[in-house]
Amino acid sequence: MRETKAQIDNADLILVGEVLARGSPPLAWTGIVKMTQLVAYRVIQILKGSYPHATVDILHVVMEGANTAASRRPALSTSFFRTGRRLIVFAGLFEGPEFKTESHFEDLENGVAAYSAKRVSDLRKLLLRKP
């Protein structure tokens, strides 16, 4: 994943998280309706925004053919989202029809990447450049 200025600007929360668990997969791929699967993370480091809790739930879009998706059925990839794996997540506040909550976030345009110290360092530099 290449972090873009738009992803950085649009994210309410950018974090390094360790996958704790995956929720139940949806019944279908994203199409006309956005289909999501919840992933619970232990918060390792906040790079942008603030979040006062030790864990966070992120709703990830399940899109056929995405590198984050399973290959044969509508679900997130169990190898990409394996328990214990550290990931960098770009998230926006989840907005339902009648609420906006800080306890649930959704990823931005499959805004998730494998963790590396270099990627975090590069991302910090991009965040510091922001006017």
Q: What is the pLDDT of residues 44-91, one digit of tens each?
A: 999 999 888 899 888 888 989 988 999 999 999 999 999 999 999 988
Q: Report if residue 22 sits inside a domain.
A: yes
Structural domains counted in the chain: 1
pLDDT value at 100 more than 60:
no
Range of the domain at 61: 5-116
Least confident of 30-44, 66-80, 106-120: 106-120
Residue 80 to residue 107: CA distance in whole angstroms: 15
Q: 70-80: per-residue pLDDT in tens? A: 999 999 999 99
Structural domain includes residue 52? yes
* The pair of three-digit structure tokens given for residue 30, joined into one six-digit string: 């994203």
3-state secondary structure of 31: coil
pTM: 0.84
Longest dimension (CA), the chain: 44
Dist CA 34 CA 52 (whole Å) = 28
The predicted pLDDT at position 1 comes to: 41
* CATH code of residue 44: 2.40.50.120
The reply to whether 125 falls in a domain is: no
